[in-house]
């Protein structure tokens, strides 16, 4: 990572700080003194994304950044990539996973047999080309204690309203110690149903 920082022209006095920040973002701090060639596939992908993002470039190309990762690491990677998008970096992503594309992309283009077939939001593409079934699953409701704790935390922010308006989403996420959800609860994010 220090080599890539030097290649990208980051002044020497800032290199250690940039590398430290990326190691923490990608949850690689514990592996910083281990040879990269011995990393697992998932950690190699994290390292590749970290190297690509050193210096906050205007455009980053990523090829299946979360392939082969366990669900927890994949969600963390998606969170980091979503945060990169909001630092005025454009991301062009190639993937076979529609789930990954939906979580990370505002616009999706699909190629079939080397030909460009469609371009649009995930909702537009599903509505126009989607076939098959959608599976909805209900899970156990949270316990009353958890609901009461959330209400107590959010009461100063939303008052007696039954819903949270757009201006207060960030405050509510901070109060619930879930700031990473702030980027997902948007009209185009994975939490679009919550946003509406």
Q: What is the pLDDT of residues 18-70, one digit of tens each?
A: 888 888 888 888 888 888 888 888 888 888 888 888 878 889 999 988 887 88
pTM for this entry = 0.58
Among residues 74, 104, 134, the one where a domain terminates is: 104
Q: What is the pLDDT of residue 108?
A: 92
The residue range of the domain holding 156 is: 144-195
122 belongs to a structural domain: no
Per the structure, how many domains does the chain have? 2
What does the pLDDT look like over 59-70, one tens digit per residue?
Answer: 999 998 888 788
Which residues contact residue 54 at a Cβ distance below 8 angstroms, ignoring those fewer than 6 apart?
Answer: 1, 4, 5, 8, 10, 18, 19, 22
What residues contact 117, with CB distance under 8 A and at least 6 apart? Answer: 110, 111
> What six digits make up the tokens of 162?
């039954």
Identify the CATH number of the domain in which residue 45 sits.
3.40.50.300
Mean pLDDT confidence for 90-98: 89
Any domain includes 132 = no
Residues 152 and 100 grouped into a single domain:
no
């Amino acid at each position: 990572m220090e080599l890539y920082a030097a290649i990208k022209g980051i002044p020497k006095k800032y290199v250690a700080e940039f590398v430290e920040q990326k190691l923490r973002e990608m949850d690689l701090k514990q592996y910083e003194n281990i040879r990269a060639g011995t990393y697992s596939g998932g950690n190699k992908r994290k390292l590749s994304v970290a190297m690509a993002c050193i210096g906050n470039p205007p455009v980053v190309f990523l090829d299946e950044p979360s392939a082969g990762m366990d669900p927890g690491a994949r969600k963390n990677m998606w969170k980091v990539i979503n945060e990169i998008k909001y630092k005025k970096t454009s991301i062009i992503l190639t993937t076979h996973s529609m789930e990954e594309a939906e979580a990370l992309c505002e616009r999706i283009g699909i190629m079939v047999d080397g030909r460009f077939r469609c371009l649009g939001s995930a909702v537009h593409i599903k509505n126009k080309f989607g076939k098959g079934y959608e599976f909805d699953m209900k899970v156990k409701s949270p316990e009353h204690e958890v609901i009461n704790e959330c209400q107590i935390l959010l009461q100063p922010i939303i008052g007696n309203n039954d819903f949270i308006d757009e201006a207060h989403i960030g405050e509510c996420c901070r109060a619930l110690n879930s700031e990473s959800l702030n980027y997902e609860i948007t009209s185009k994010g994975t939490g679009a149903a919550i946003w509406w």
